[in-house]
Amino acid sequence: MFDGLIKKTKIIESEIDLFLDNITKSALVFKEAIRDYSKGEKKDLKKRIEQISDLERQTDEVRREIKFKLYREMLIPDARGDVLGLLETMDDLVDIAKEVVVQIDIEKPEIFPEIEDKFLKLADYSSKAIESTSKAGNAYFRNITEVNNYINKVKFYETEADDVETEIKKIIFDKKDCELSKKIHLRDIIVRVAFLSDEAEEVCERIAVYSIKRNI
Amino acid sequence: MNSYSLVTILFFLSSGLFLGWSLGANDAANVFGTAVTTKMLKFKTAAIIASIFVIIGAVSGGKGTSSTLEKLGSVNALGGAFIVAFAAAISVYLMTNISIPVSTSQSIVGAIIGWNFFVGLKTDLTVVTKIVMSWIASPILAAIFSIIFFLGIRKLLHNSNIHLIRKDFYTRIGLIVVGAFGAYSLGANNIANVMGVFTETIPLENISLFNVFIIDSKQQLFFIGAMAISTGILTYSKNVMNTVGKKLFKLSPMTALIVVLSSSTVLFLFASRGLKSFLNSYGLPSLPLVPVSSSQAVVGAVLGISIAKKASNLSFKTLGKISLGWVTTPLISALICFIMLFFMQNVFMQKVYSRNIQNRVSINRVEASEYINKGDNYDR
């Protein structure tokens, strides 16, 4: 009886680890994809899109598997809702990251040289926010005392991302020799990239509440 | 077997069996209520574990508290024993109906005192004081234990970095082990409430199992009583578990484990003859062997957790209700017993007290006193 249960427990633990690893990988692939696009490395961008699409698919499958197992084996009945909510919102981060990369690939916005560095910086902050969210998630499962540490990092990256977003918008709309339609298009992309850090912060707020509930 | 026929014994024993059934239906919820309602354990698993360990606890560890009740009043006629147990059962029913937390321990003690009054025997106030002090001490001790266990387990969990899913696994095992211990302690501590008053009146032949184990008369009665408790657990405790788990105490599985561990430890300490002898042999203080209320120990343990969490929801109303139970339950039970004994003796013409065997009873009392006083010397 116990052997079977411990085996199932270990499997779910490793699936949760895989899920969180995928979130971190997605963040890194996202950052690389933005860099590839900015540098005009189209071949590499295609590869990144494939990578992030695979990660998104795999993350979805793992999340579904964890969900069914938690219900089927009646595990963590008191925290099941929280865990599933957490995994779902974290999964959304990967979905959004993939959507942004695909959107950039399809719409091909023109990244002005004046904003290129800041654009990369923005992508870096959003990517770091997602990475730290994944670490906060891992801490929620393993080491609850570390959760706040990562949440603070996410908050920092989100604020930084907001600042860079505003700076870029100012540069875009101050630019004289550019059509308004291009400016608006670029702004949309910037907003989407910055939105990732906002979403990461939302997830962290959930983790903060769930952690309080997890304290015995 | 003595002069009573099997039918007579079963008839008179029925009040004790009813009391046992209601104890099983109500008190199993204290042990497994949260585990079942939070779906950490299936009711069937919980009920089977509880039933088995209640029987083991009652048969192997029930004699300690039973001897204390004998010291309070040796009910020595079958009719009297029937009424004492019946009055206790009715008191439990009435008190539950008016929503006062009630314990079979308190009602049986009241009923025995009522019997003493009716037959004109003096109630030993030293024993009464010891019993009442134990009732007061049990929730306090449970609160202290739960604070210690809570802080210890919280520190352990913080330092060990156990994965949430693995913690769930360990909690499940913990709930089963602690639940089994709780059921054992419940059987050992509370079987005296169910069968204690019959031990003087129904002496049974010893049974030898493979010439290794001897099951004496008391143990046979305790086994029958424990079967009644198990029947209560299997047939009716699910509803009570739902009430206890969902309405009264909304606990997480981990805090439920701490509550059950604390309250069960208290019940065990007040029931274990082995532990008492062990402590006494080293000159250490020990607790008297007294049937205490498992529900009140649980309330004490929950309050302990509130204190440890520095939560401000310490309910003085709940404490007040418990204190009310210490006084009102025995009083009502004694009164009901007194009235019922009158009817039993004068309307149904049944013997409720036997003067012929009073000498034997006195000898038994002296033996019981000697046994208990051994521990008392250390208590002082």
pLDDT digits (tens, 9 = 90+) for B332-353: 999 999 999 999 999 988 888 8
Q: To the nearest 10°, report the CA torsion of B357, B108, B89, B76.
A: 0
Place of tokens 């997830």: A203
Contact: B253, A83; criterion CB under 8 Å: no
> Is B321 within 8 Å of chain A by CB?
no
Q: Is the pLDDT of residue B34 over 90?
A: no
The partner residue sitting opposite B157, judged by closest CB among A2, A83, A216, is A216
The partner residue sitting opposite A5, judged by closest CB among B39, B169, B254, is B169
> Is A179 within 8 Å of chain B by CB?
no
User: How far away is chain B from the Cα of A207, in angstroms, using its nearest Cα?
Assistant: 13
Instruction: Give the largest Cα separation in chain A, rounded.
Output: 73
Q: Determine the residue among A147, A212, A216 to mutate to test chain B binding: the one whose Cβ has the most chain B Cβ atoms within 10 Å.
A: A216
Give the start-end residues of each E strand in chain B: 207-209, 213-215
Q: Where do the domains of chain A lie? A: 2-214
Q: How many CB pairs under 8 A join A and B?
A: 51
**Alpha helices, DSSP H only, in B2-124?**
6-37, 43-61, 63-72, 78-97, 104-119
The partner residue sitting opposite B165, judged by closest CB among A12, A78, A215, is A12
The Cα–Cα gap between B335 and A111 comes to 92
Q: Which residues of A touch B254 (CB under 8 A)?
A: 216
* pLDDT for position B371: 47
List, for residues A170-200, the tens digit of each pLDDT value. Answer: 999 999 888 999 999 999 999 999 999 999 9
The neighbour count for residue B126, using CB atoms within 10 Å, is 13
Q: Where do the domains of chain B lie? A: 6-374
Q: Which residues of A touch B168 (CB under 8 A)?
A: 9, 75-76, 79
> Length of chain A, please?
216
> Is A2 within 8 Å of chain B by CB?
yes
Q: Is the pLDDT of residue A209 over 60?
A: yes
How much is the CA Rg of chain A, to the nearest whole Å?
19
Q: Supply B154's token pair.
A: 């919280």
Q: Output A26 or B298, whichever has higher pLDDT.
A: A26
Q: Supply B234's token pair.
A: 């299997």
**CATH 1.20.58.220 describes domain A2-214:** yes
Contact partners, residue A41, CB within 8 Å, separation at least 6: none
Which A positions 17-36 lie with beta carbon below 8 A of chain B?
none
Contact: B153, A216; criterion CB under 8 Å: yes
| Element spanning A183, H or E | helix A180-214
What is the residue-wise DSSP string for B210-235? TTTEEE-HHHHHHHHHHHHHHHHHHH
Q: What single-letter DSSP state applies at residue B123?
A: P
Per-residue pLDDT, averaged over B229-245, amounts to 84
User: How far away is chain B from the Cα of A62, in angstroms, using its nearest Cα?
Assistant: 16
* pLDDT for position B312: 58
The rounded Cα B101 to chain-centroid distance in angstroms is 14
* pLDDT for position B2: 52
CA-wise closest residue to A29 among A153, A127, A122, A157: A127
List, for residues A5-50, the tens digit of each pLDDT value. Answer: 888 899 999 999 999 999 999 999 999 999 999 998 888 899 999 9
Q: Determine the residue among B149, B164, B250, B255 to mutate to test chain A binding: the one whose Cβ has the most chain A Cβ atoms within 10 Å.
A: B164
* pLDDT for position B362: 47
Q: Supply A87's token pair.
A: 């995994």
Per-residue pLDDT, averaged over B66-70, amounts to 89
* pLDDT for position B372: 46
The partner residue sitting opposite B161, judged by closest CB among A78, A83, A142, is A142
The Cα–Cα gap between B39 and A75 comes to 9
